Amino acid sequence: MRLSVITSNPGKVLEYQRAFDKFGIETVHVKMPYDEIQSSDLEEVVRQGLAGLRAAGMSDFIIDDSGLFINCLGGFPGVWSAYVQKTIGNQGVLKLMGGVKDRSAEFRCCIGGCIGGMDIIVTGICAGVILEKERGAEGFGYDPIFSHDGGRSFAEIPVDEKNEISHRGSAIKLFVKELSHLL
């Protein structure tokens, strides 16, 4: 089976390739813009993206949307995580959380796929906390300030370990399980 991974992020494609290789699924990186609706719900964004890409004639593809949801900030930055990362970055998020005791947060990743005309939509979650300061040199985005175990940041653990426990890693496992029911 061959799936198009529709994204502008080559890092995501590598993560999908590593995960899907074990299942004999070939991935192809496709940079194709599609409308992303403004919604606070990851699944709604993905559903609309799937519909738009299907209407454009695409088949056998996956897309995803993900975000960091911080409890004390009412779920912010959530679906706006990429924009917030570009504008205020990790230091801005840490500043917003200055003096806050509840540092609980979770990464969520919603993967949507259209396989043989059938939709699969799953969401993976990785719960953790926002650290007091940036730590580590691996990863990208919020990785230096997020810890799944209250100790190491995502930027301090090997990428293969991170991919096993991350929100996207969890979503990929769920996606493959659902995909196996269609094959």
Catalytically active residues are 65
Task: Enumerate residues 6+ apart whose C-beta is below 8 A from 46.
Answer: 63, 64, 65, 110, 111, 112, 121
The answer to whether residues 19 and 159 touch, using CB atoms and an 8 Å cutoff, is: no
**Length of the chain counted residue by residue:** 183
How deeply is 116 buried, as exposed, middle or buried, from its count of CB atoms within 10 A (0-12, 13-18, 19+)?
A: exposed
Q: Are 97 and 130 in contact (CB under 8 A)?
A: yes
- Asked if omega into 77 is within 30° of 0 (cis), the reply is yes
